[in-house]
Homo-oligomer: A and B are copies of this chain.
Amino acid sequence: MDSPALRRPYRREGEEKRRDDLIAAAMTLVAEGGPEAATVRAIAARAGVTPGLIRHYFQSKEELTHAAYRQVMEAMTAEAIRACDAAPADDPVARLAAFVAASFRPPVMTPLIVGVWAGYMHLGRNDPVMHEIHESTYLGYRDQLQHLIAALPRPADPARDRREAIACNALIDGLWLEGGSLPDGFAPGEVMRIALDGVATLLGIRFPADAYPAPSPGKTD
């Protein structure tokens, strides 16, 4: 009865690595099986540790959940902004194109991210912290988009900008959701191309050819 005797061997890791591992494990599980799949035991198993360790780094499972969700969401917007800032500061059209394009390739559009988004989407209703995270990251993205639209070289019209930002944001959301959910339903780069075309059409502008992904090799249709 009392022959534990062999104890699981383990390595000691830095706090940061362990926290990241646990967060990554939680995200993966949520993406795969929804929030209810991310139990303390499952998270620990996925991260290659034992359940007790979670409470060594997080005061509760809830805290881990919040940390994971925040990290995913903030990383997403941050990546889009980063790509946008990589474009010439004096070329609003190129900046907008870069922002949109970044939203449709990894690490923003991946089944993992979309899965996390979908899995947690519902928790915002009852959990105030989740709601705050969702709201701030969501509005952060949309605000950024609206800024980029307002910077376009054309007569100012704030009301129009708002409407167009809402429409573009919705188009991006919808495509991102589809593309991330059914990655096999589209040719490589197809979703991004549709998104760029759609945003350009909605705004009455044209994006330069180099804003688009490289054409699929082999065929020149």
Contacts and interface: CB of A to CB of B under 8 A. Distances in A.
A197 B33 contact: no
A170 interface: yes
Given A32-B125, A33-B125, A174 B169 contact: yes
A53 interface: no
A174 B173 CA distance: 6
A163 interface: yes
Contacts of A195: 167
Interface residues of A, number: 32
Nearest to A221: B159
Contact of A167 (B34, B115, B198, B204): B198
B163 A174 contact: no
Interface in A142-177: 163, 166-167, 169-175, 177
Contacts of A175: 166-167, 170
A136 interface: no
Interface string A86-124: 000000000000000000000000000001001101110
Interface string A163-199: 1001101111111011000000000000000110110
A60 interface: no
A126 to B, nearest CB: 6
A202 interface: yes
A172 B177 CA distance: 12
A47 B174 CA distance: 34
Contacts of A197: 163, 167
- Chain A to chain B: the 5 pairs with minimum beta-carbon distance, closest first: A170-B174, A173-B174, A174-B174, A170-B175, A167-B198
Interface of A: 32-36, 115, 118-119, 121-123, 125-126, 163, 166-167, 169-175, 177-178, 194-195, 197-198, 201-202, 204
21 contacts: A32-B125, A34-B35, A34-B122, A115-B125, A118-B121, A119-B122, A163-B194, A163-B197, A167-B175, A167-B198, A170-B173, A170-B177, A170-B178, A170-B194, A171-B174, A171-B198, A172-B174, A173-B177, A201-B201, A201-B202, A201-B204
